[in-house]
Amino acid sequence: MAEFSGPEQVLEAARQAYAKGYRQMDAYSPFPVDGLAEAIGFRRTRLPLFVLVGGIVGALSGFFLQYYAAVISYPLNVGGRPFNSWPSFIPITFEATVLLAALCAVVGMLMRNGLPRPYHPVFNVQRFERVTRDKFFLCIEATDPLFDEKKTLKFLESLSPANVTTVDP
C-alpha cells in the first residue's frame, strides 16, 4: 500500500497501476476524487436502477394500499362518487414513492459497499488513520493475479509515494 499527499498523485499512480495490468486494487481518499474510481477500473454502479425499482414498487404499493382500503375493504358511498377517487390518492402515492426510493438509495449504497464493516485489513496500518484527514492511499491487493510481494512493492515505490507499507491480513 502506497501513501500519497495529494489527489493528483494518487490519481496518476492509480492510472499507472491500471496500465501495468493490476486489477485487484483500491484507492482511498479523504474526499471523493473525480475519476479515481474509473482509474482503478470501476465502471459503473447499478444503484440508480435499484432506486428506480424502489420508487416504482413504492408508487404501486402506495396506490394499492389506498385502492384496497377505499374500493375493496371498506367501500364508502359518499353521494354516489366513485370509490376509486384516484386524484385524492396521488399525494400519498407520491410520498410512498419518495420514501421507498430514498430507503433503497441508502440501504443499497450501504449494502453494495459492504458496510457496516467493523474490521478491514487496511485498518492495521497505523498511518492509514490519516486517510480521513489529508492523505491518499493506493492499495494493490494480494488476490491480484499479477501480485508478487517484491515486484509489487518495487512498482509502488517507483510511483514516488510518500510511504509504502505492506498490509497484514
Partner 1 sequence: MKRENTVDTVETAPLIGHGQTYGTITDKITADVLERKTPRGMLVGLAIAFVLTMVLFISIGWLMIKGVGIWGINIPVAWGFAIINLVWWIGIGHAGTLISAILLLLNQHWRNSINRFAEAMTLFAVGCAALFPLLHLGRPWVFYWIIPLPDTMALWPQFRSPLTWDVFAITTYFTVSFMFWFVGLVPDLATMRDTAKKKWMKIVYGVLAMGWRGSARHWHRYEMAYLLLAGLATPLVISVHSVISFDFSVSVLPGWHATIFPPYFVAGAIYSGFAMVLCLVIPVRKVYGLQDFVTDRHMDYMAKVMLATGLIVAYGYAMEAFFAWYSGNEFEKYMMFNRTQGPYGFIYWGLLLTNIAIPQLLWIGRIRKNMVWLFLISITINIGMWLERFVIVVTSLHRDFLPSSWDMYYPTIWDWATYIGTIGLFLCLMFLFIRLMPMISIFELRQLLPWRGK
In 58-135, at which residue ranges do the beta strands (DSSP E only) sit? none
| 118 contacts partner 1 (rule: CB under 8 A) | yes
| β partners of residue 25 | 140
| 117 contacts partner 1 (rule: CB under 8 A) | yes
| 56 contacts partner 1 (rule: CB under 8 A) | no
Q: Please say whether the beta carbons of 149 and 156 come within 8 A.
A: no
C-beta closer to partner 1: residue 33 or 57: 33
| 84 contacts partner 1 (rule: CB under 8 A) | no
Among 82, 115, 149, 169, binds partner 1 (CB under 8 A): 115
Total count of residues recorded for the chain: 169
Mutual angle of helices 47-67 and 90-112, in 10-degree steps = 150
Interface size with partner 1, residues (CB under 8 A) = 64
Window of 15-23, 90-98, 150-158, 160-168 that interacts with partner 1 by CB under 8 A: 90-98
Going residue by residue from 130 to 169, which x/- string records binding to partner 1, judged by CB under 8 A? xxxxx-----------------------------------
Q: Please say whether the beta carbons of 26 and 167 come within 8 A.
A: no
What is d(CA 96, CA 90) in angstroms, rounded to the nearest whole number?
A: 10
Q: How many helices (H) and strands (E) does the chain have?
A: 5, 4
Shortest distance, position 165 Cβ to partner 1, whole Å: 15
Window of 15-23, 103-111, 144-152, 159-167 that interacts with partner 1 by CB under 8 A: 103-111
